[in-house]
Amino acid sequence: MKEQVAMTVVPAAWTSWALSRVDSDPAGLAEQVLARTGLPDTPEGREIVELHLATLDVSLDLGCTDLLVPQLRWELTRRPQVTSAPRVVPVHDAVHATLAERLDELTLAAVVRHVGAAEAAARALESRSWSLRGRGGLSGLTAPVQTYLGHAVAGHQQRAIEHVLTLVADGSSVADVLLEVLAPAQLELGRLWERGVVSVAQEHVATAVTQVTMSALQPLFLEQPRLDRTLVAATPPGDRHEIGLRVVTDLLQLRGWDTQYVGASCPVADLVEAVVTAGATLLLLGASMPAHLPGLRAAVEHVRADPRCQGVAVLVGGEPFRHAPGLGEWVGADLVATDAREALEAAAGLLALQEATGV
């Protein structure tokens, strides 16, 4: 889910072989593309263009069209919510027209093939999604998730907390509540926001309710035995999506890890200092969109370059890692997880290795 904030997400410089040949910097190219689209010059309009360009750059660098598909699907649903103007040019068409003036023929042809393959996949997936779920959705959510999501979207904070505490009292573990209620509810909330079923304000309210609800579960963590292992968790600069990362962090805390949750959009220098100060053996980094991967990669590079962080393992995860098998190596991580359960397994494997080697 994309946070509605007035901030740029375009990279400081291009990384892909193709866009590196453009004679405009990322910010300048974004302005030129926005002007061609006819989208309003607002944070929401700029966000669509900037995310497209940043995601295109990463997907070209990796040679992975699958990374671009979620962005194109999002544009299909998000653009009509930003403007109802009938003559708005699709972002990929505006990008093509702009790049055609700045790239040689062979490079442009390669970019067009790359985008074309991603666009075809995006439209096929979108068509299938609508036929199965419709605008309101046939999401298949369990009754506990539906009840919780209803309270969260309505802003009924106390009811949401009472609901999850009742589930625990009735026999559900805290881990089950995190994995099977709060995480699915947040995913569905993101889908509903993308469809325009819930407003930005409702999404913000529901997310805030989930954050408070997770905090209300914290007293139940005190009963868990400790492992004498510490992890630091954060998202890279520009990525303000934190619920998924918090779920994984809390699950690992339930398994005995001491956790320091640094939070969303953490400056790289502060992240390194947090790892050093905590004496962490594990750094957990999440990226919600491909556009945030360069920031995550830079964070890993800074940790690796600091001699005080020797021996720290890096576990990365988030939606982009579902689409590109080689992405973990690209960002320089030791471990990759595509969901919370895989993150738990990866951390357990690391712990077993550390115990076997006496680290």
What is the CATH number that goes with domain 143-219?
A: 1.10.1240.10
Tell me the average pLDDT across 228-234. 94
The reported pTM is 0.86
Tell me the average pLDDT across 232-256. 92
SS3 338: coil
Provide the terminal-to-terminal Cα distance of the chain, rounded to the nearest Å.
38
Q: 301's torsion region: left (phi>0), alpha (psi -120 to 50) or beta?
A: alpha
**CA–CA dist 254, 174 (Å, integer):** 8
The answer to whether residue 276 scores a pLDDT higher than 60 is yes
Is 141 or 282 the better-scoring residue by pLDDT? 282
Q: How far, CA to CA in Å, does 34 sit from each of 26, 60, 96, 171, 181? A: 12, 21, 12, 53, 39
**pLDDT at residue 78, as a whole number:** 63
pLDDT tens digits, one per residue of 67-86: 999 888 888 776 666 555 55
**CA–CA dist 210, 84 (Å, integer):** 32
pLDDT tens digits, one per residue of 120-164: 998 887 776 655 544 444 457 899 999 999 999 999 999 999 999
* 224-357 homologous superfamily: Cobalamin-binding domain (3.40.50.280)
Rg of the Cα trace of the chain?
Answer: 21
Domain residue spans in the chain? 19-133, 143-219, 224-357
Q: If pLDDT is split at 50, 70 and 90, which confidence band does 326 have?
A: confident
Measured over the CA atoms of residue 257, residue 259, residue 264 and residue 266, the dihedral's sign is negative
